[in-house]
Structure 1
Amino acid sequence: MKKYILTLPLLFVSIISMAQAVSTPLKPGRTPEGVVYFLPKTVFQLNLLVEKKTYKPGEFCKYAEKFLRLSGIAQEEEVTHSIVSYGLTPVGVRDTSKCYTVMLKGKSATAEVKLSDDGVLQAVNAEPAKVKVKEPFKPAPRKAPVDSKQYLSAEVLSAGSVAKMAELTVQQILEIQNHRQMLISGEAEDVPTDKDQLQLMIDQLDKEREALMSMFLGTTTRDTVEQVITICPEKEVKREVVFRLNKKIGLVDKDDLSGIPYYMNIEDEHHTTLQKYDIPENKKDGGFFVNVPGRIKFTLLREDHQLASFNLYAAQFGFVELRSGSLFKRYVTHMTLNPVTGSVETIHADMPTK
């Protein structure tokens, strides 16, 4: 953590102030004069699932049209990337522009003030709210590649040319299809009486046919990874490039013109959960500053097509208010803050019983 030098006049002012902003960040924590703390700002993690698709042509791909009447089969290896999912996760980080000090006296003199590791106020006389952690993406296990040649008949393997092998493989595929149909209709000589055994035989024939067809159609493998882009909005934006996607190599920097641009709009909806109001001077003594976040709309676009839209609250689009010091000084008061926005989640005081 960086250390800051505070001039003596400013230090004197911050000590005698019971609850006011500190213009130069101090080291957060309890001091003999009070407690120094920060409030958070809200950043957004744009979670992208990027799929890498790799196509490899089959050994008989150039004979697909001749023997199977399939046109347009690619004969060169090809790698493409696409985005298959979008998500937005809000996260709270320390806002160095919101550093405050509060002197504790009266009932608050022994208050338990809990700060995060980087000095953000989490709770007073209470347990901090639990931070919701997004589960990282776990790709599905990849299937083991199938060796198509293991299903080729001896006749195919002994053929004298690739063209002849392709022709005989098509005949083998047709024989598999015919056998499958006869099993289903009950006309095959080897139809088992057990239904489960029959299904196993059909599944095996399907597997063989798919493997042999891949020698003409090629194979495609898919690998999906999660990539995270952190966004820290401070104001409204319109069609700002947030990242680019190059279909051949994946995500690239937003300044890399080889990629297709993806844009974001951030709209301030000018809505908060509370209205801003003035606090009388006699109630500022010993109070805690908290955030009142504002609601924004985040939109992700490609060209003019809207891909995703999110409505969220962000600390920096609202304002800061002071929770009256009289409450903390007169009673043991329990308060927890939202770790993402710095707003009050719960607050109550232990009132004396009569």
Structure 2
Amino acid sequence: MFATKTKSFICLLTTILSFTVLQAQSIEGTPYCLPKNGARFTVKVEKTQYIPGRFCQYSMRYMKLNVSQQPSTTYRIIGIDIDPIVRPDTSRHFKLIIDKKRSISKVTCTPDGQLLAINADASLVAPTVHKFTPAPKPAPLNPAEFMTEDILNAGSTAKMAELSAKEIYDIRDSRNQLSRGEADFMPKDGTQLKLMLANLNRQETALRQLFEGVVTKDTTWTTIDCMPMKEGSSVFFRFSTRRGLVDADDLSGEPYNLIVKNLNTAPAATPTPAGQKEDKADIGLRVSKPSRIKLTLQHNTDVVATYEMNAAQFGTVESLSGELFGKKQSAALWLDPMTGSVKEIKQITP
């Protein structure tokens, strides 16, 4: 019994000591990385489906309408939204080394290791979310519910089409008479008139579908992320009017190219003089000096969208001296969570 308790106490003490050591190491030697920036494209595509009507072959004879007799599905891009995104740049990975001369009590990083602040709290970047809310669709009409007894009892499709067309013209005549105030039975007030006209419109729409067919439209939003690392042009995605968005290597769609151009707004990196002695105040603290880039989405020769943004990976990296965090006078440092550049430095008393 005593041996068991002693063993448990030793295990507990070992766990506490291990946690203390790990906590100290997380401050004294904190690995971190700087960010890289990209763009999220939200491509809005409209899908249009056409289903021919039951009497489509008679639409020209009775309704003077030239309609297709074959079903079809087509797609078109109706809009593109572009928003910045950030990811840790594992190629720019560093380690913060803190000795006894430095007053650093807190290092704030994102869960994936991006440095956010020193001696201060910082919040993550909330990504922009475009929420698509589909519009409510009216219940589909059933033309059979609006057919007269004569139409339903007709002996052939051609006769049904003829009688349906006649019914459509009768509905139009009734609507015109109501609008002019010439109907045999006029409504009592404006509200009743609106109801009667709406009912006639509904009947006509249902019967016209027998000739014109039915067209339905749906909209989908697809997000595509881009994390450019160099200038140039490449196929970003392909689009087919028959299949919609397809992969970049699917030749059934036409290419949409993304052109990346560095605007070179970042200051040039300062070269290290030959033979320079090691900086004793260097604690491994690095920050970004981002450059501005321009993204151009192009289809053939048409520019579909352009977007300018700061991109840390196209800029330079600068070293900050550990003297900022002295024992007598220290500092709180905040980095821009998007680019890793210095956002704010504030003096604090340790």
* TM-score, with structure 2 as normaliser: 0.84
Partner SS state of residue 133, structure 1: coil
Deviations 1:279-299 (A, max 9, x none): 996585336312121111111
Paired with 2:192 and 2:329, the residues of 1 have a C-alpha distance of: 76
**CA 278–211 in structure 1, closer or farther in 2 if over 3 Å, else same:** same
Alpha-carbon displacement from aligned partner over 1:103-130 (angstroms, at most 9, x marks no partner): 2356854432111111111222132254
Once the two structures are TM-superposed, the CA of residue 206 in structure 1 deviates from its matched residue by 1.5
Contact kept? 2:31, 2:93, Cα under 8 Å: yes
Count residues in correspondence: 323
The aligned counterpart of 2:149 is 154
Runs (4 or more) in structure 1 with deviation over 4 Å come to 105-108, 274-284
What are the equivalent positions in structure 2 for 1:73-152 lying under 5 Å apart? 73-105=67-99, 109-124=103-118, 125-152=120-147
**Partners of 1:152 and 1:283 in 2: CA distance:** 92
Alpha-carbon distance, 1:144 to partner: 2.6
Aligned with 1:203: secondary structure?
Answer: helix
Q: Does the aligned pair in 2 maintain the 1:290–1:344 contact within 8 Å?
A: yes
Larger Rg: 2
Q: In structure 2, what is the Cα distance between the partners aligned to 1:335 and 1:148?
A: 70
* 1:191, distance to aligned residue in structure 2 (A): 2.6
Q: CA deviation at 1:189?
A: 3.1
CA distance in 1, matches of 2:260, 2:60: 51
TM-score, normalisation: structure 1: 0.83
The CA deviation at 1:245 is 1.4
The one of 325, 330, 352 aligned to 2:322 = 325
1:37 is the counterpart of 2:37: no
SS at match of 1:210: helix
CA-CA distance at 1:244 after TM superposition: 0.9
CA contact (8 A) 1:49 1:85 kept: yes
Q: List per-residue Cα deviations over 1:83-102 (Å, max 9, x = no partner).
A: 21112222111111111111
Relative distance call for 1:315 and 1:176 in structure 2 (3 A) is: same
Q: Residue type matched to 1:297 in 2?
A: K
Aligned 8 A contact 2:103 2:325 in 1 = no
- Deviations, residues 15-55 of structure 1 (Å, cap 9, x unaligned): xxxxxxxxxxxx9x953642111111112222111222111
- Cα drift, residue 143 of structure 1: 3.1
Q: CA deviation at 1:269?
A: 0.9
Cα distance in structure 2, aligned partners of 1:309 and 1:295: 13
Cα distance in 1 for residues equivalent to 2:175 and 2:343:
64
After superposition, what is the alpha-carbon deviation per residue over 1:192-240, rounded to whole angstroms, capped at 9, x for unaligned?
23322322222222222112111111111112211122222111113x2
* Aligned twin of 2:245: 251
- Whole-angstrom distance in 1 between the partners of 2:196 and 2:333: 66
Q: Which residue of 2 aligns with 1:179?
A: 174
| Mapped contact 1:126–1:334 kept (Cα < 8 A) | no
- 1:346 corresponds in structure 2 to 344
In structure 1, the residue matched to 2:13 is: none
**Structure 1: unaligned runs, 5 residues or longer:** 1-26
How far did residue 317 of structure 1 move? 1.1
Moved more, 303-312 or 185-194: 185-194
